Chains A and B, each alone.
Chain A
Amino acid sequence: MSAVTDVAIEFNRLSKSFGKVQAVHDLSFSVQFGRVTGFLGPNGAGKSTTLRTLLGLIHPNAGTATFGGVRYEQLPHPSGHVGAVLEEASFHPGRSGRNHLRILAAAGSHPGSRVNAVLEQVDLAGAADRRVKGYSMGMRQRLAIAAALLGDPDVLILDEPSNGLDPPGIRWMRDLLRSEAARGRAVLVSSHLLSEVSQSVDDVVVISHGVLRGSGTLASVLGGADGPVTRVRAGELDRLAELLRDQDHSVEPDGSGGLLVRGAAPEVVGQVAADHQVALAELVAVARSLEDVFFELTEGEA
């Protein structure tokens, strides 16, 4: 692991237009090592353009997209530092999966033994010598992921990696993302499968029309602008409300005999109640789904 700072990827006021179409506008956010960051947005929001700009495939009009301050094409050993799966995983149909990886291993100066290792890792060893045109979409996606893992990179960038995967494949992908982050790697994953993302990511970045709409930890984004929201019921409701207000939490009636506490997770509310010996009848997080947040931030775009 070569991480010197916690910031693995940094977008700084990135802009890109194609003719009169502004694909990405003044986009700034960062991705940390050891975390999975979900990159969300409707179709045409600019996600792929952003990722391709980061990888040196598209030239930005303004701003920068770097890995620890260094552009992808200037990294001393790019495919050893960054592994990427882009949306349209591309292979020569007449070439076997193994040969596809052999080519990339040779070009990236990775040891040939990595080919077998990643084929095993993505559970594709049995089909490695078949031509890619006979692969299912899920197998192609696994091959693309194998290619990204060839250089044992510190940073993984995945554009819609669950496309074409069956339910076991999606679970496998989720486990892979989590295990890579647990090893200290930075994972940036774009997806439109919000339920999948909500189970995999630590942080979320939402864009629409190429503009940043929201970002932060999953919990903070799900909590909205005020942070997490908790519903509580107690015998001494007025006293509890007073105690919570004393601690600068926003408290309001929930309309059914309880309280809504904004800006406090259930653990915080529970601790206040326990400290002051207030018996609780109910203590639950008021969950907003990622889908709710997504539509709110993108103004209902699908």
Chain B
Amino acid sequence: MTALLRAELIKLRTTRTFLALTGVAVGTSLLICTLVSLLSEPTEESVLTDVFTADTSGLFIVILAIVGITGEWRHRTITSSLLAAPNRLRFLVAKTLAFAAAGLLLSLLISIAIAVVGMIILSSRDLPTPELDELVGQIIRNAEVAALLGAFGLALGTLVRNQPVAIVGVLLLSLAIEPTVIALAPEVGRFAPFSALTAAIQQIPASDIGGSDDFRLLSPGLALLALLAWIGAAFTAGAVLLKRRDLN
């Protein structure tokens, strides 16, 4: 498994897509953090989630993971991958772990960068700043979500082989369908994987994801279990499909 994981990490590092999307994720996160730090007046209670959850690694790692697995089909590298690792389940596990690790590292990189930038700007404006332990806690929660979304994106990409369809589908789901469900059926919306569950794990207020006054997020622990269930279901379905599929 270590060998396969190493191979998957080399795959990640050796394409421009990964470097480009990582750069965009870092740039976007820093831009949001800078604008919020400069233009808003966060209170002592809200500063942590207002400024230091600007980490956009979750969205980008989902896209990277989808590109990573669907690209195997698109470029037909799935053949050489499975010749090197004919146990398809082990191949999928290694790829999932690789994107979870990539999400974790990307989020840590971004969270630390926005922590530095946010603290400098807030301090220069004499606005409240979070305690170090609070900041570290938020960085860890951000990284936790990014790791889970990396695994989730990989599982979804295994289910939907068509790269554009998978990416557009996830964007539609996270940016349009989930907010609609949260607004219209909040009891169902609490289990929305990209918005409600990640917000609950990151301990972001429900109002930040468009929830109404009576919308309540799950507790962080329950949200984590629910997101793991989503990942498990998608991974299982993807693994069954991959195992049965003939590679013509």
Contact = CB atoms under 8 A, between A and B. Distances in A.
Main secondary structure of the interface of B (DSSP, over half): helix
Contacts of A48: 248
A107 B87 CA distance: 12
Given A55-B83, A84-B83, A106 B7 contact: yes
Given A73-B86, A79-B83, A107 B7 contact: yes
B90 to A, nearest CB: 10
Contacts of A86: 79
A79 B246 CA distance: 20
Given A91-B75, A107-B7, A107-B85, A58 B248 contact: yes
A104 B82 CA distance: 10
B14 A96 contact: yes
A258 B171 CA distance: 82
A95 B14 contact: yes
Contacts of B86: 55-56, 72-73, 75, 78
Which of B3, B6, B7, B83 is the most central at the interface, judged by chain A CB atoms within 10 Å of its CB? B83
Given A95-B15, A103-B14, A108 B82 contact: no
A102 B15 CA distance: 13
A86 B78 CA distance: 12
A57 B82 contact: yes
B5 to A, nearest CB: 9
B176 interface: no
B214 to A, nearest CB: 49
Contacts of B15: 92, 94-95
B247 A91 contact: no
A169 B14 CA distance: 29
A288 interface: no
Contacts of A59: 244, 246
B247 A107 contact: no
B97 to A, nearest CB: 14
B3 A106 contact: yes
A225 B46 CA distance: 89
A31 B246 CA distance: 24
A57 B16 contact: no
A91 B15 CA distance: 12
Contact of A52 (B3, B4, B11, B247): B247
B223 to A, nearest CB: 35
B128 to A, nearest CB: 45
Nearest to A95: B14
Given A106-B6, A106-B10, A94 B17 contact: yes
Nearest to B86: A73
Interface of B: 3-4, 6-7, 10-11, 14-17, 71, 75-87, 244, 246-248
Interface of A: 18, 48-49, 52, 55-59, 72-73, 75, 78-79, 84, 86, 88, 90-96, 99, 102-104, 106-109, 147
